[in-house]
Amino acid sequence: MIQLPTRSFVLGTLVFLFAAWALLFLRLLPLTQGFMGWPGPDMGLALILAWVLRRPDQLSAPVIVLAVLVEDVMLMRPLGLWTAIVLIGSEAARLREPRWRDQPFMVEWIGIGVLIGLMMLGYRVTQALFMLPVAALGQVILQYLATVAAYPVVIFLARWLIGLRRIRHGETGRTA
Protein backbone atom coordinates (compact mmCIF):
# COMPACT_ATOMS: atom_id res chain seq x y z
CA MET A 1 0.00 0.00 0.00
CA ILE A 2 1.20 3.50 -0.80
CA GLN A 3 1.89 5.55 2.27
CA LEU A 4 0.93 9.23 2.20
CA PRO A 5 3.66 11.71 3.09
CA THR A 6 3.52 12.99 6.63
CA ARG A 7 2.66 16.58 7.46
CA SER A 8 6.22 17.13 8.74
CA PHE A 9 7.69 15.96 5.41
CA VAL A 10 5.41 18.17 3.29
CA LEU A 11 5.87 21.22 5.51
CA GLY A 12 9.64 20.73 5.70
CA THR A 13 9.87 20.34 1.93
CA LEU A 14 7.86 23.50 1.28
CA VAL A 15 9.88 25.52 3.79
CA PHE A 16 13.13 24.25 2.23
CA LEU A 17 12.00 25.13 -1.31
CA PHE A 18 10.93 28.59 -0.17
CA ALA A 19 14.26 29.17 1.60
CA ALA A 20 16.31 27.84 -1.33
CA TRP A 21 14.49 29.99 -3.85
CA ALA A 22 14.63 33.04 -1.58
CA LEU A 23 18.43 32.59 -1.45
CA LEU A 24 18.48 32.27 -5.24
CA PHE A 25 16.42 35.46 -5.56
CA LEU A 26 18.87 37.31 -3.31
CA ARG A 27 21.77 35.93 -5.32
CA LEU A 28 20.26 37.26 -8.54
CA LEU A 29 19.68 40.78 -7.21
CA PRO A 30 22.10 43.36 -8.60
CA LEU A 31 23.49 44.51 -5.27
CA THR A 32 26.83 45.81 -6.57
CA GLN A 33 27.59 48.35 -9.22
CA GLY A 34 30.42 47.68 -11.60
CA PHE A 35 33.38 45.63 -10.38
CA MET A 36 32.63 42.28 -8.80
CA GLY A 37 35.19 41.55 -6.09
CA TRP A 38 35.26 38.55 -3.81
CA PRO A 39 32.94 35.66 -4.60
CA GLY A 40 30.31 35.04 -1.97
CA PRO A 41 29.47 31.71 -0.39
CA ASP A 42 27.12 29.23 -2.01
CA MET A 43 24.42 29.57 0.63
CA GLY A 44 22.11 27.19 -1.26
CA LEU A 45 24.65 24.39 -1.03
CA ALA A 46 25.25 25.10 2.66
CA LEU A 47 21.48 25.06 3.27
CA ILE A 48 21.05 21.74 1.47
CA LEU A 49 23.84 20.09 3.45
CA ALA A 50 22.62 21.58 6.73
CA TRP A 51 19.07 20.36 6.05
CA VAL A 52 20.21 16.87 5.06
CA LEU A 53 22.27 16.57 8.24
CA ARG A 54 19.60 18.10 10.50
CA ARG A 55 16.36 16.65 9.08
CA PRO A 56 17.13 13.92 6.51
CA ASP A 57 13.52 12.75 6.72
CA GLN A 58 12.21 16.06 5.32
CA LEU A 59 14.40 16.46 2.24
CA SER A 60 14.19 13.90 -0.53
CA ALA A 61 16.48 13.60 -3.55
CA PRO A 62 13.88 14.86 -6.11
CA VAL A 63 13.41 18.03 -4.06
CA ILE A 64 17.16 18.65 -4.06
CA VAL A 65 17.29 18.04 -7.81
CA LEU A 66 14.39 20.45 -8.40
CA ALA A 67 15.93 23.24 -6.31
CA VAL A 68 19.42 22.95 -7.81
CA LEU A 69 18.16 22.47 -11.38
CA VAL A 70 16.20 25.72 -11.15
CA GLU A 71 19.37 27.33 -9.83
CA ASP A 72 21.36 25.90 -12.78
CA VAL A 73 18.89 27.40 -15.25
CA MET A 74 18.76 30.80 -13.55
CA LEU A 75 22.53 31.09 -13.12
CA MET A 76 23.23 29.75 -16.63
CA ARG A 77 25.48 26.93 -15.49
CA PRO A 78 25.89 23.71 -17.52
CA LEU A 79 22.44 22.16 -17.15
CA GLY A 80 22.42 19.31 -14.66
CA LEU A 81 26.15 19.07 -13.94
CA TRP A 82 26.14 20.91 -10.62
CA THR A 83 22.76 19.31 -9.87
CA ALA A 84 24.24 15.82 -10.19
CA ILE A 85 27.26 16.71 -8.07
CA VAL A 86 25.11 18.29 -5.34
CA LEU A 87 22.82 15.24 -5.35
CA ILE A 88 25.78 12.86 -4.99
CA GLY A 89 27.31 15.02 -2.25
CA SER A 90 24.06 15.41 -0.33
CA GLU A 91 23.37 11.68 -0.46
CA ALA A 92 26.91 11.03 0.79
CA ALA A 93 26.19 13.40 3.69
CA ARG A 94 22.86 11.67 4.31
CA LEU A 95 24.64 8.32 4.62
CA ARG A 96 27.03 9.79 7.20
CA GLU A 97 24.32 11.58 9.19
CA PRO A 98 23.75 8.77 11.74
CA ARG A 99 27.48 8.68 12.51
CA TRP A 100 27.77 12.48 12.77
CA ARG A 101 24.60 12.85 14.86
CA ASP A 102 26.34 12.41 18.22
CA GLN A 103 29.65 14.02 17.23
CA PRO A 104 30.67 17.57 18.16
CA PHE A 105 29.92 20.29 15.62
CA MET A 106 33.60 20.63 14.68
CA VAL A 107 33.64 17.06 13.32
CA GLU A 108 30.59 17.84 11.18
CA TRP A 109 32.10 21.12 10.00
CA ILE A 110 35.38 19.47 8.97
CA GLY A 111 33.48 16.69 7.19
CA ILE A 112 31.32 19.22 5.37
CA GLY A 113 34.41 21.21 4.42
CA VAL A 114 36.01 18.14 2.88
CA LEU A 115 32.76 17.21 1.12
CA ILE A 116 32.29 20.69 -0.35
CA GLY A 117 35.92 20.67 -1.51
CA LEU A 118 35.45 17.32 -3.25
CA MET A 119 32.23 18.54 -4.86
CA MET A 120 33.88 21.69 -6.21
CA LEU A 121 36.90 19.70 -7.39
CA GLY A 122 34.66 17.19 -9.15
CA TYR A 123 32.73 20.02 -10.82
CA ARG A 124 35.94 21.68 -11.98
CA VAL A 125 37.49 18.44 -13.29
CA THR A 126 34.30 17.55 -15.16
CA GLN A 127 34.18 21.00 -16.72
CA ALA A 128 37.81 20.69 -17.85
CA LEU A 129 37.25 17.14 -19.11
CA PHE A 130 34.38 18.23 -21.35
CA MET A 131 36.15 21.46 -22.35
CA LEU A 132 33.60 23.75 -20.75
CA PRO A 133 34.62 27.20 -19.55
CA VAL A 134 36.29 26.90 -16.14
CA ALA A 135 36.29 29.69 -13.56
CA ALA A 136 39.59 31.07 -12.30
CA LEU A 137 41.11 28.83 -9.63
CA GLY A 138 41.56 31.72 -7.19
CA GLN A 139 37.86 32.60 -7.40
CA VAL A 140 36.86 28.96 -6.84
CA ILE A 141 39.13 28.67 -3.80
CA LEU A 142 37.72 31.90 -2.35
CA GLN A 143 34.15 30.66 -2.90
CA TYR A 144 35.05 27.35 -1.25
CA LEU A 145 36.50 29.13 1.80
CA ALA A 146 33.49 31.46 1.98
CA THR A 147 31.03 28.55 1.76
CA VAL A 148 32.79 26.54 4.46
CA ALA A 149 33.02 29.64 6.67
CA ALA A 150 29.31 30.39 6.11
CA TYR A 151 28.16 26.88 7.07
CA PRO A 152 27.95 27.60 10.84
CA VAL A 153 26.07 30.82 10.07
CA VAL A 154 23.59 28.87 7.95
CA ILE A 155 23.14 26.34 10.76
CA PHE A 156 22.50 29.14 13.27
CA LEU A 157 20.06 31.02 11.02
CA ALA A 158 18.21 27.85 10.03
CA ARG A 159 17.75 26.96 13.68
CA TRP A 160 16.79 30.48 14.72
CA LEU A 161 14.53 31.44 11.79
CA ILE A 162 13.10 28.10 10.67
CA GLY A 163 13.48 25.99 13.79
CA LEU A 164 15.64 23.42 11.99
CA ARG A 165 17.20 21.21 14.64
CA ARG A 166 19.11 17.97 14.62
CA ILE A 167 16.91 14.88 14.53
CA ARG A 168 16.87 12.68 17.62
CA HIS A 169 17.36 8.92 17.64
CA GLY A 170 13.71 8.10 18.38
CA GLU A 171 12.27 10.39 15.67
CA THR A 172 13.21 8.27 12.66
CA GLY A 173 12.81 4.68 11.68
CA ARG A 174 16.42 4.49 10.54
CA THR A 175 19.07 2.92 12.73
CA ALA A 176 22.12 4.83 13.84
Q: How far apart are CA 50 and CA 151, in angstroms?
A: 8
Average pLDDT across each block of 10 residues of the chain; the chain has 176 residues. List them in order: 74 90 88 72 94 89 95 92 96 89 90 96 95 91 95 91 74 48
Residue 83 contacts residue 123 (beta carbons within 8 Å): no
Give the DSSP letter of residue 76.
Answer: T
For residue 168, the Cα-to-chain-centroid distance in whole angstroms is: 21
Give just the sign of the alpha carbon dihedral 151, 157, 163, 168.
positive
Amino acid, single-letter form, for residue 165: R
User: What span, in angstroms and rounded, lies between the C-alpha atoms of 88 and 114?
Assistant: 14
Torsion of CA 22, 23, 27, 30, to 10 degrees: 40
Whether the full predicted model's pTM is greater than 0.85, yes or no, is: yes
